[in-house]
Amino acid sequence: MKRSNLTLVAGICCGAMLGLGGYTFMEAEGLAYLSNDPEACANCHVMRDHLASWQKSAHHTVATCNDCHTPHAPIPKLVAKAINGWNHSVRFTLQDYPEHIRITARNARNLEHNCIECHRPLVDGVFPASADAHSGRNASDLHCVHCHAGVGHGP
């Protein structure tokens, strides 16, 4: 194959991928995900129950989805949103997401970090470096949502 033909084929493939990505981004209202609006998180129907439960939670007046689920520093926040946006768009496009979605390990670490940072005055004595005074277990074995699962998302 001639070099010019190979360049043409590569250009067509790149154009098709950019076009499909752009269409998916527009169809999924991708710009909304850059906002702090919790309604944007419910664009996908599997998130509607999560939005409704958050609206009934103790946190709905003080924290949005991003406050709990993404890092607070700008660059890590954008990276997390980009990774999540990519994963969500692939799942949405291929329609292969479970009806009962589960938090990923990376996002669970973000959530845990944000719980502790926001509630630092309350948890400083609960999570010392060596062991947890609350249960005698290693602090790395504990996660806020083990005992406080319904706090961010109410009944």
List Cβ neighbours of 4 (8 Å cut-off, separation of 6 or more): none
Tens-place pLDDT, residues 13-39:
999 999 988 887 787 777 777 788 888
Tens-place pLDDT, residues 66-90:
999 999 999 999 899 889 888 877 8
For residue 40, how many other CB atoms are within 10 A of its CB? 19
Superfamily of domain covering 3-147: Di-heme elbow motif domain (1.10.3820.10)
List Cβ neighbours of 98 (8 Å cut-off, separation of 6 or more): 46
CA separation for the pair 80, 108 (Å, rounded)? 12
Domain residue ranges in the chain = 3-147
Structure pTM?
A: 0.71
